[in-house]
Structure 1
Amino acid sequence: MAISPIPARLLNRPTLINHKNMRFLISDAPSDSNLALYIAEFERHNTTDIVRVCDPTYATVPLNNLGIKVHDWPFGDGEGPPPAIVRDWIELVEQRFGKDPEKEPSSAIAVHCVAGLGRAPLLVAIALIEAGMTPEESIAFIREHRRGALNTKQIKFIMDYKPRRARKSKCTIL
C-alpha cells in the first residue's frame, strides 16, 4: 500500500474576511495530515484563536504550542448556533478586536467547519452584524469572498438575528 504524499499546498485555501477592526479566516477543517499547511496560513495572518464548530479532525497540541487557542464550539451541520455559542463567539470577537472600529487589527480569528461553507461563515456573519452591517450586507459580503457560503436555513438564521446592541438599547418615551 502506497502512502500518498502530503500536498505542497492547500486545495481550499482559507478565506480572509476584513471588516473594520476585525479579521477572520474561514476555512474547511484541517486534518492531522495537512495541519502544517494550515499552521503556515494561521501564522501568516497572526491567528490567535481557532474556533472549531464541527467534530475534531486534528490534534490541537501543535497549535497550543504556538500559542494559538482552539475553541471547540460544535453545533449541527446546516443549523444556526445555540445562544451559548453566539454569546461566547461575540465575547471572543470583542476580546480580540476591541470595540474601536478604527483600530487596525493585528491578528485574526480562524473559524472552520467541515467544508467552510456553512457554520463558519455563519459565525462571521454574526460578527459583521454586531459591527453594524445589515443581515443582507453580511451575507453578500461573505459570499463575495467565499462562493457557495451559507444555506437557506443559515440565511434565515442571519436574517432573523438581532444584534446585542439592539437588545441593550431601551427606548424611553418622555
Structure 2
Amino acid sequence: MNRPAPVEISYDCLRFLITHNPTDAQMGKFIEDLKAFGVNTLVRVCAATYDKTPVEQEGIQVLDWPFDDGSAPPDQVVGDWLNLLQAKFKEQPGCCVAVHCVAGLGRAPVLVALALIECGMEYEDAVHLIRQKRRGALNAKQLHYLEEYKSKLCLRLKDANDTTTEPARSPTETSVSMVLWPSGTP
C-alpha cells in the first residue's frame, strides 16, 4: 500500500510531524524519518500494530492515545495532548512532536489543528495549512468539531517583554520566544 510521506507542520515555535502507521517492513525508514525531523515524542492515536521498543530505543517517547477512526478526539485525549505540548515545547523549544493514525489523514491532523487553534490560529487557517501539506486531511465530522471547538489559548506565546503576542492571522512563521500558559490561563 502506497502511503503519503510524513509532513511537517510548523507554526511559530510549534513543530509537528504527521505520518501514517508504519508496517514492520517500514519500521527502519519510519525511525529514520522521525530522527531526521528531530522528533522526541510520538503519539499513536490508532490501535498499536507494531512494537514501540525500536522507536523508544532511539530515545523517542511513544504515547498511546487511540480514539475511533473518523471521529473527533475525546476530551481526555484533548487534555492529554495539550498538556503534553505545553510541557514539551516549554522544556524543549523547537522540538518536534510526531502524531500518527492509520493513514495520517484524520485523527492525527485533527490533533495538530487543535494545537494550532490553541496557539491562536483561526480554525479555517489551521485546516488550510494542514491541507496544503496533507491533501484530503480531515473529514466533515472532524471539520465541524474544529469549527465548534472553544479554544482556551493555552499555547499562546509571549514575546521577550513578557507581552502576549497576537498570532498571525495567516499561517506564517514568526520569531518569538515561547512561554506556555498553564491550562485555562489566558
> Which range, TM-score by smaller chain?
0.7 to 0.9
Secondary structure at 2:70 match in 1: coil
Q: Distance in 2 between matches of 1:151 and 1:41?
A: 26
| Alpha-carbon shift at residue 94 of structure 1 (Å) | 1.1
| Alpha-carbon shift at residue 58 of structure 1 (Å) | 1.1
Match of 1:21 among 13, 18, 35: 13
Number of aligned residues? 157
Match of 2:105 among 113, 117, 121: 117
**TM-score, normalising length from structure 1?**
0.84
**Which residue of structure 2 lines up, in the alignment, with residue 96 of structure 1?**
88
**Which residue of structure 1 lines up, in the alignment, with residue 152 of structure 2?**
164
Percent identical residues: 42
Q: Which residues of structure 1 form unaligned runs of 5+? A: 1-9
CA contact (8 A) 1:16 1:23 kept: yes
| Alpha-carbon shift at residue 165 of structure 1 (Å) | 3.2
Match of 2:49 among 57, 60, 71: 57
| Alpha-carbon shift at residue 66 of structure 1 (Å) | 1.1
**TM-score, normalising length from structure 2?**
0.79
Match of 2:27 among 26, 32, 35: 35
Q: Distance in 2 between matches of 1:169 and 1:89?
A: 17
Aligned pairs for 1:139-150 (under 5 A) are: 139-150=127-138
Secondary structure at 1:164 match in 2: coil
| Alpha-carbon shift at residue 31 of structure 1 (Å) | 1.6
| Alpha-carbon shift at residue 96 of structure 1 (Å) | 1.2
Q: Which residues of structure 2 form unaligned runs of 5+? A: 155-182
Secondary structure at 2:63 match in 1: strand
Structure 1 runs (4+) deviating above 4 angstroms are none
CA contact (8 A) 1:20 1:104 kept: no
**Which residue of structure 2 lines up, in the alignment, with residue 67 of structure 1?**
59
Amino acid at match of 1:83: D
Computed over aligned residues only, the root mean square deviation of the Cα atoms, in angstroms, reads 2.0
**Which residue of structure 2 lines up, in the alignment, with residue 84 of structure 1?**
76
Q: Which has the larger radius of gyration?
A: 1
